[in-house]
Amino acid sequence: MKTAISFVALTAALSFSATVPPIKQLPFGEVDGKPISIYLLKNAAGMEVTITNYGGAVTSIKVPDRNKALGNVVLGFDSVAPYQTTTSYFGALIGRYGNRIGKAEFQLEGKVYHIPANENGNALHGGTTGFNKRIWDAKDVSTAKAPALEMHYLSPDGEMGFPGNLDVTVRYTLDAKNGLEIDYSATTDKATVLNLTNHTYFNLAGAGNDTVLKHRLTIRADHYTPVDGALLPTGVVQAVEGTPFDFRHGNVIGSRINEDNEQLKLGKGYDHNFVLNEPHTLKQWAVRVEERSTGRVMEVFTDQPAVQFYTGNFLDGTAHGVGGDFKFRSAICLETQHYPDSPNHPNFPSTELRPGEKYHTVTIYRFSTEE
Ligand code: BGC
């Protein structure tokens, strides 16, 4: 009898710990007369993520440090207004084309397509009004095990010059092992190009801390794509060996960032596309970041062929958000993606999507601590 009672108690305790609190929806402001919300996802381990349906942006991620103290590790704001005016893409979903398209144009099936240029005559992150400035439909698709929020956006044929009605769904899931999974899918009714990503800025010491230069970074990439003066890829795929771009065995980010290196000067630091070694699977991490003072670790898993590693070189302290001023190099972005400007480089993996095909890709940012 005694055993039976403790068995019942144990199953009750287990099912309780596996149940996640429902997603909370809170007001975040208004855009064009439409109410914008923020959604709070919590897992049983205590990790918390907030996401807004404006730009589908991740606005905060709270994870424990080695002493179990929760801290926010991403740059964000506490209302929608700053997201409308910023040009830094804080936390946002990026589309239709992550990073740059040279001369803001590309050819597909013999036709030339023009995107409204928003940087030196080139298109950055989808043109003048990218997915980061769109209102997404948000739906709670949580299961008993994991809170999940699904974002949907229908980008009409010709929006920002891109062909095809593009139906995009992005699902954010917070798993039980402190992983934030981003699952992107899309279909089109005309041949098009597509490169979706997320532009969250991380500082594992806590948002608002001065720099990320002491973070230690490992990237499983033997190659990267060097850039020209406009930060467009030159088309060359270069070995990292013997350069400040060699993060294969783990390096402190600041250890070589100020070296007299042409590529670092062009990027004002790291702002480069790293070509991830194959296989591109979710079975092993592609990037690992460690922050010694808090013991926080972030591992990035992705099925994408590349990652843009950006050290916040264009942040200048003028944006003031949760945690303080967002200063020069006070965060890193790890934008899992296809190579920049692929539509104009036939030697890069293709970013074309055709009717009848399904675009599907997954990236997970997983947090843990070490002593
Ligand atoms: C780019 C940077 C750009 C930044 C905008 C990054 O993905 O690589 O060059 O300045 O986005 O915030």
Nearest CA to ligand 1 atom 9: 271
Identify which of 86, 89, 272 to mutate to test ligand 1's pocket (most ligand atoms within 8 A of the CB): 89
Q: What is the average pLDDT across 327-348?
A: 98
pLDDT of 26 > 80? The answer is yes
Give 299's contacts (C-beta < 8 A, 6+ positions apart).
285, 287, 288, 289, 365, 366, 368
Question: Which amino acid does the sequence have at 334?
Answer: L
Q: What is the average pLDDT across 342-368?
A: 98
Residue 86, ligand 1, Cβ within 6 A: no
Q: What is the average pLDDT across 131-138?
A: 98
pLDDT at residue 140, as a whole number? 97
Ligand 1 atom nearest residue 99's Cα: 7
pLDDT at residue 10, as a whole number? 44
125, 159, 199, 215: the active-site residue: 199
Domain containing 236 — which CATH number?
Answer: 2.70.98.10
Q: Which of 13-22, 211-220, 278-287 is predicted least confidently?
A: 13-22
Residue 291, ligand 1, Cβ within 6 A: no
Give the C-alpha distances (Å, rounded to integers) separating 290 from 200, 218, 247, 250.
Answer: 17, 9, 13, 9
Domain of residue 206 covers 2-369
pLDDT of 364 > 50? The answer is yes
Residue 341, ligand 1, Cβ within 6 A: no
Percent of the chain with pLDDT strictly greater than 70: 95
Q: What is the average pLDDT across 346-369?
A: 98
Paired with 224 in beta bridges are 238, 274
| pLDDT band of 160, cuts 50, 70, 90 | very high
Cis peptide before 296 (omega within 30 of 0): no
| pLDDT band of 118, cuts 50, 70, 90 | very high
Nearest CA to ligand 1 atom 10: 314
Nearest CA to ligand 1 atom 5: 88
Q: What is the average pLDDT across 221-232?
A: 98
Between strands 192-193 and 70-72, the pairing is unpaired
From ligand 1's centre to the CA of 368, what distance in Å?
27
Identify which of 93, 119, 333, 338 to mutate to test ligand 1's pocket (most ligand atoms within 8 A of the CB): 333
Number of domains in the chain: 1
H/E element holding 187?
strand 179-188
Q: Which residue has the higher pLDDT, 210 or 175?
A: 175
| pLDDT band of 18, cuts 50, 70, 90 | low
Rounded to whole angstroms, how far apart are CA atoms 237 and 252?
A: 24
Rounded to whole angstroms, how far apart are CA atoms 322 and 71?
A: 12
Query: Does the annotation mark 181 as catalytic?
Result: no
Q: What is the average pLDDT across 284-298?
A: 98
**What pTM value is reported for the model?**
0.94
Residue 122, ligand 1, Cβ within 6 A: no
pLDDT at residue 295, as a whole number? 98
Mean pLDDT of the chain: 95
Ligand 1 atom nearest residue 340's Cα: 8
pLDDT at residue 340, as a whole number? 98
pLDDT of 7 > 90? The answer is no
pLDDT of 13 > 90? The answer is no
Report the candidate in 136, 134, 130, 131 with the shortest Cα–Cα distance to residue 104: 130
The answer to whether the CB of 148 falls within 8 A of the CB of 141 is: yes
Ligand 1 atom nearest residue 87's Cα: 12
pLDDT at residue 3, as a whole number? 42
Written as six digits, the tokens of 61 are: 């991620």
Paired with 257 in beta bridges are none
Query: Does the annotation mark 199 as catalytic?
Result: yes
DSSP label of 267: H
Q: Rounded to 5 degrees, what angle do the CA atoms 138, 144, 147 make?
A: 35
Q: What is the average pLDDT across 159-168?
A: 98
pLDDT tens, 232-276? 999 999 999 999 999 999 999 999 999 999 999 999 999 999 999
Nearest CA to ligand 1 atom 12: 88
Ligand 1 atom nearest residue 89's Cα: 12
181, 335, 338, 345: the active-site residue: 335
Ligand 1 atom nearest residue 231's Cα: 9
Q: What is the average pLDDT across 81-95?
A: 98
Ligand 1 atom nearest residue 271's Cα: 8
Report the candidate in 306, 228, 211 with the shortest Cα–Cα distance to residue 263: 228
From ligand 1's centre to the CA of 99, what distance in Å?
7
Residue 314, ligand 1, Cβ within 6 A: yes
From ligand 1's centre to the CA of 4, what distance in Å?
59
